[in-house]
Protein backbone atom coordinates (compact mmCIF):
# COMPACT_ATOMS: atom_id res chain seq x y z
CA UNK A 1 0.00 0.00 0.00
CA UNK A 2 1.37 3.42 -0.96
CA UNK A 3 1.78 6.00 1.76
CA UNK A 4 -1.61 7.49 2.59
CA UNK A 5 -3.74 8.73 5.45
CA UNK A 6 -5.33 5.30 5.65
CA UNK A 7 -7.75 2.97 3.92
CA UNK A 8 -11.44 3.28 3.16
CA UNK A 9 -13.04 -0.15 2.86
CA UNK A 10 -16.55 -0.55 1.44
CA UNK A 11 -18.17 -3.82 2.56
CA UNK A 12 -20.29 -4.92 -0.39
CA UNK A 13 -22.58 -7.83 -1.17
CA UNK A 14 -23.59 -9.20 -4.53
CA UNK A 15 -27.05 -7.82 -5.43
CA UNK A 16 -28.85 -11.16 -5.44
CA UNK A 17 -32.64 -11.48 -5.13
CA UNK A 18 -33.57 -12.87 -1.74
CA UNK A 19 -30.13 -12.12 -0.24
CA UNK A 20 -30.12 -8.33 0.12
CA UNK A 21 -32.59 -5.80 1.57
CA UNK A 22 -34.99 -8.56 2.60
CA UNK A 23 -36.64 -6.31 5.20
CA UNK A 24 -38.05 -4.30 2.28
CA UNK A 25 -40.00 -7.34 1.06
CA UNK A 26 -42.88 -6.54 0.91
CA UNK A 27 -43.70 -4.02 -0.49
CA UNK A 28 -40.75 -4.67 -2.83
CA UNK A 29 -40.32 -8.05 -4.46
CA UNK A 30 -36.96 -9.77 -3.85
CA UNK A 31 -35.89 -8.81 -7.38
CA UNK A 32 -36.83 -5.16 -6.84
CA UNK A 33 -34.99 -5.13 -3.51
CA UNK A 34 -31.87 -6.47 -5.26
CA UNK A 35 -32.22 -3.82 -7.97
CA UNK A 36 -32.51 -1.10 -5.31
CA UNK A 37 -29.45 -2.43 -3.50
CA UNK A 38 -27.48 -2.41 -6.76
CA UNK A 39 -28.29 1.31 -7.09
CA UNK A 40 -27.30 1.97 -3.49
CA UNK A 41 -24.01 0.16 -4.01
CA UNK A 42 -23.31 2.06 -7.23
CA UNK A 43 -23.88 5.38 -5.47
CA UNK A 44 -21.78 4.41 -2.45
CA UNK A 45 -18.86 3.30 -4.62
CA UNK A 46 -18.95 6.48 -6.69
CA UNK A 47 -19.11 8.74 -3.62
CA UNK A 48 -16.45 6.70 -1.80
CA UNK A 49 -14.03 6.88 -4.74
CA UNK A 50 -14.39 10.65 -4.80
CA UNK A 51 -13.94 11.15 -1.07
CA UNK A 52 -11.03 8.70 -0.90
CA UNK A 53 -9.24 10.79 -3.53
CA UNK A 54 -10.09 14.01 -1.68
CA UNK A 55 -8.90 12.70 1.70
CA UNK A 56 -5.84 10.77 0.53
CA UNK A 57 -7.19 7.31 1.35
CA UNK A 58 -6.65 4.00 -0.40
CA UNK A 59 -10.03 2.79 -1.69
CA UNK A 60 -10.94 -0.89 -1.28
CA UNK A 61 -14.19 -2.73 -1.91
CA UNK A 62 -14.43 -6.04 -0.06
CA UNK A 63 -16.96 -8.34 -1.70
CA UNK A 64 -19.18 -11.14 -0.40
CA UNK A 65 -19.41 -13.79 -1.68
CA UNK A 66 -15.94 -14.06 -3.16
CA UNK A 67 -17.30 -15.33 -6.49
CA UNK A 68 -18.90 -11.92 -7.10
CA UNK A 69 -15.61 -10.00 -7.20
CA UNK A 70 -15.46 -9.80 -11.00
CA UNK A 71 -19.09 -8.64 -11.18
CA UNK A 72 -18.55 -5.88 -8.60
CA UNK A 73 -15.23 -4.88 -10.19
CA UNK A 74 -16.96 -4.21 -13.52
CA UNK A 75 -19.17 -1.59 -11.91
CA UNK A 76 -16.67 -0.07 -9.49
CA UNK A 77 -14.65 3.08 -10.21
CA UNK A 78 -11.10 2.29 -11.29
CA UNK A 79 -9.71 3.81 -8.09
CA UNK A 80 -10.89 0.76 -6.14
CA UNK A 81 -8.96 -2.38 -5.36
CA UNK A 82 -11.47 -5.25 -5.31
CA UNK A 83 -10.87 -8.07 -2.84
CA UNK A 84 -12.97 -10.98 -1.53
CA UNK A 85 -14.16 -10.86 2.06
CA UNK A 86 -12.78 -13.60 4.31
CA UNK A 87 -14.56 -15.11 7.30
CA UNK A 88 -17.47 -17.28 8.30
CA UNK A 89 -19.74 -14.40 9.33
CA UNK A 90 -19.97 -10.62 9.07
CA UNK A 91 -18.13 -9.98 12.33
CA UNK A 92 -15.17 -12.09 11.28
CA UNK A 93 -15.16 -10.49 7.83
CA UNK A 94 -15.03 -7.03 9.41
CA UNK A 95 -12.18 -8.09 11.67
CA UNK A 96 -10.38 -9.51 8.64
CA UNK A 97 -10.81 -6.26 6.69
CA UNK A 98 -9.23 -4.18 9.45
CA UNK A 99 -6.40 -6.66 9.93
CA UNK A 100 -5.58 -6.85 6.22
CA UNK A 101 -5.60 -3.09 5.70
CA UNK A 102 -3.38 -2.53 8.74
CA UNK A 103 -1.00 -5.27 7.58
CA UNK A 104 -0.74 -3.49 4.22
CA UNK A 105 0.40 -0.32 5.99
CA UNK A 106 -2.76 1.71 6.59
CA UNK A 107 -2.36 3.85 9.74
CA UNK A 108 -6.14 4.22 9.98
CA UNK A 109 -8.91 2.05 8.58
CA UNK A 110 -12.48 3.17 7.93
CA UNK A 111 -15.04 0.49 7.16
CA UNK A 112 -18.36 1.57 5.71
CA UNK A 113 -21.47 -0.26 4.67
CA UNK A 114 -22.86 -0.21 1.16
CA UNK A 115 -26.33 1.01 2.15
CA UNK A 116 -25.54 4.18 4.15
CA UNK A 117 -26.08 6.91 1.54
CA UNK A 118 -25.28 9.92 3.76
CA UNK A 119 -21.64 9.06 4.48
CA UNK A 120 -19.59 11.73 2.72
CA UNK A 121 -16.15 13.31 3.03
CA UNK A 122 -17.25 15.31 6.07
CA UNK A 123 -18.28 12.17 7.95
CA UNK A 124 -15.14 10.25 7.03
CA UNK A 125 -12.98 13.25 7.94
CA UNK A 126 -14.66 13.32 11.34
CA UNK A 127 -13.90 9.62 11.80
CA UNK A 128 -10.23 10.10 10.89
CA UNK A 129 -9.93 13.06 13.27
CA UNK A 130 -11.60 11.12 16.08
CA UNK A 131 -9.02 8.35 15.67
CA UNK A 132 -6.36 10.82 16.80
CA UNK A 133 -7.70 10.38 20.32
CA UNK A 134 -9.52 7.04 20.25
CA UNK A 135 -8.87 3.43 19.28
CA UNK A 136 -12.33 2.85 17.85
CA UNK A 137 -14.83 5.18 16.17
CA UNK A 138 -18.42 4.21 15.35
CA UNK A 139 -21.22 6.05 13.56
CA UNK A 140 -24.48 4.82 15.09
CA UNK A 141 -27.59 4.07 13.06
CA UNK A 142 -31.20 4.58 14.04
CA UNK A 143 -31.79 0.83 14.36
CA UNK A 144 -29.20 0.10 17.06
CA UNK A 145 -26.32 -0.71 14.74
CA UNK A 146 -23.74 1.39 12.93
CA UNK A 147 -22.79 2.18 9.35
CA UNK A 148 -19.15 3.16 9.82
CA UNK A 149 -16.23 1.79 11.85
CA UNK A 150 -12.90 3.54 12.30
CA UNK A 151 -9.90 1.71 13.74
CA UNK A 152 -6.15 2.12 14.09
CA UNK A 153 -5.27 -1.51 14.73
CA UNK A 154 -6.80 -5.00 14.71
CA UNK A 155 -8.78 -5.93 17.81
CA UNK A 156 -9.47 -9.69 17.83
CA UNK A 157 -12.84 -10.38 19.38
CA UNK A 158 -14.28 -6.91 18.88
CA UNK A 159 -17.07 -8.13 16.62
CA UNK A 160 -17.63 -11.49 18.32
CA UNK A 161 -21.37 -11.04 18.80
CA UNK A 162 -24.52 -11.47 16.70
CA UNK A 163 -24.81 -8.92 13.90
CA UNK A 164 -27.92 -7.36 12.34
CA UNK A 165 -29.66 -7.04 15.71
CA UNK A 166 -30.96 -4.06 17.69
CA UNK A 167 -28.04 -4.39 20.13
CA UNK A 168 -25.09 -4.43 17.71
CA UNK A 169 -23.79 -1.03 18.81
CA UNK A 170 -24.13 -1.86 22.50
CA UNK A 171 -22.50 -5.27 22.01
CA UNK A 172 -19.54 -3.80 20.12
CA UNK A 173 -19.04 -1.11 22.75
CA UNK A 174 -19.12 -3.76 25.48
CA UNK A 175 -16.47 -5.80 23.66
CA UNK A 176 -14.37 -2.66 23.15
CA UNK A 177 -14.48 -1.94 26.86
CA UNK A 178 -13.49 -5.53 27.63
CA UNK A 179 -10.54 -5.20 25.24
CA UNK A 180 -9.45 -1.90 26.78
CA UNK A 181 -10.20 0.18 23.67
CA UNK A 182 -11.08 3.86 23.93
CA UNK A 183 -14.10 4.73 21.78
CA UNK A 184 -15.77 7.73 20.16
CA UNK A 185 -19.24 7.97 18.65
CA UNK A 186 -19.97 10.21 15.67
CA UNK A 187 -23.28 11.91 14.97
CA UNK A 188 -25.85 9.22 14.08
CA UNK A 189 -26.75 8.31 10.52
CA UNK A 190 -28.97 5.62 9.04
CA UNK A 191 -28.91 2.62 6.75
CA UNK A 192 -31.54 1.91 4.12
CA UNK A 193 -33.12 -1.26 5.47
CA UNK A 194 -36.87 -0.66 5.75
CA UNK A 195 -39.76 1.15 4.11
CA UNK A 196 -39.44 3.84 6.79
CA UNK A 197 -35.85 4.41 5.66
CA UNK A 198 -36.95 4.91 2.06
CA UNK A 199 -39.50 7.45 3.25
CA UNK A 200 -36.77 9.17 5.24
CA UNK A 201 -34.75 9.55 2.05
CA UNK A 202 -37.73 11.41 0.59
CA UNK A 203 -37.87 13.74 3.59
CA UNK A 204 -34.13 14.41 3.34
CA UNK A 205 -34.09 15.15 -0.40
CA UNK A 206 -31.63 17.95 -1.03
CA UNK A 207 -28.84 18.88 -3.46
CA UNK A 208 -26.41 17.06 -1.14
CA UNK A 209 -28.49 13.87 -1.17
CA UNK A 210 -28.97 14.09 -4.93
CA UNK A 211 -25.20 14.31 -5.31
CA UNK A 212 -24.56 11.33 -3.01
CA UNK A 213 -27.18 8.89 -4.30
CA UNK A 214 -28.54 9.87 -7.74
CA UNK A 215 -29.05 6.29 -8.93
CA UNK A 216 -30.98 5.36 -5.78
CA UNK A 217 -33.27 8.36 -5.98
CA UNK A 218 -33.85 7.76 -9.69
CA UNK A 219 -34.86 4.17 -8.96
CA UNK A 220 -37.32 5.31 -6.32
CA UNK A 221 -38.78 7.89 -8.69
CA UNK A 222 -39.31 5.18 -11.30
CA UNK A 223 -41.11 2.88 -8.83
CA UNK A 224 -43.90 4.94 -7.32
CA UNK A 225 -45.72 1.94 -5.85
CA UNK A 226 -43.53 1.84 -2.73
CA UNK A 227 -44.89 5.25 -1.64
CA UNK A 228 -48.42 3.83 -1.47
CA UNK A 229 -47.48 0.79 0.64
**In this structure, what are the phi and psi dihedrals at residue 185, rounded to the nearest 5 degrees?**
-110, 135
pLDDT bucket at 229, cuts 50 / 70 / 90: low
| Longest Cα–Cα distance in the chain | 50
Q: Where are the strands (E) in 30-182, listed by range?
A: 57-64, 81-84, 109-113, 136-140, 146-151
| In contact, 13 and 19? CB cutoff 8 Å | yes
CATH class of domain segment(s) 6-222: alpha beta
High-pLDDT (> 70) share of the chain, %: 97
> 100-159 pLDDT, tens per residue?
999 999 999 999 999 998 999 999 999 999 999 999 999 999 889 999 999 999 999 999
Burial class (CB in 10 A: 0-12, 13-18, 19+), 74: exposed
Beta bridge partners of 82: 61
CB atoms inside a 10 Å sphere around CB 161: 15
- Look at residue 2 and tell me whether its pLDDT is greater than 60: no
Q: How would you classify residue 20: left for phi > 0, otherwise alpha for psi between -120 and 50, otherwise beta?
A: beta
Ranking 67-71, 72-76, 168-172, 194-198 by mean pLDDT, the lowest is 194-198
> 11-40 pLDDT, tens per residue?
999 999 999 999 999 989 999 999 999 999
Task: Please state whether the peptide bond connecting residue 93 to the residue before it is cis, i.e. omega within 30 degrees of 0.
Answer: no
Amino acid sequence: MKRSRGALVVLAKAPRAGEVKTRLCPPLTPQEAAELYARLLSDVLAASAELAHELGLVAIVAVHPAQACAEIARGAPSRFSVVPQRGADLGRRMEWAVREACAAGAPRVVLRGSDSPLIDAEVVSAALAALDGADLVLRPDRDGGYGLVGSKRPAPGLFDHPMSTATVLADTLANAARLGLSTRLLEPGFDVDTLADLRRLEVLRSPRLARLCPATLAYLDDHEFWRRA
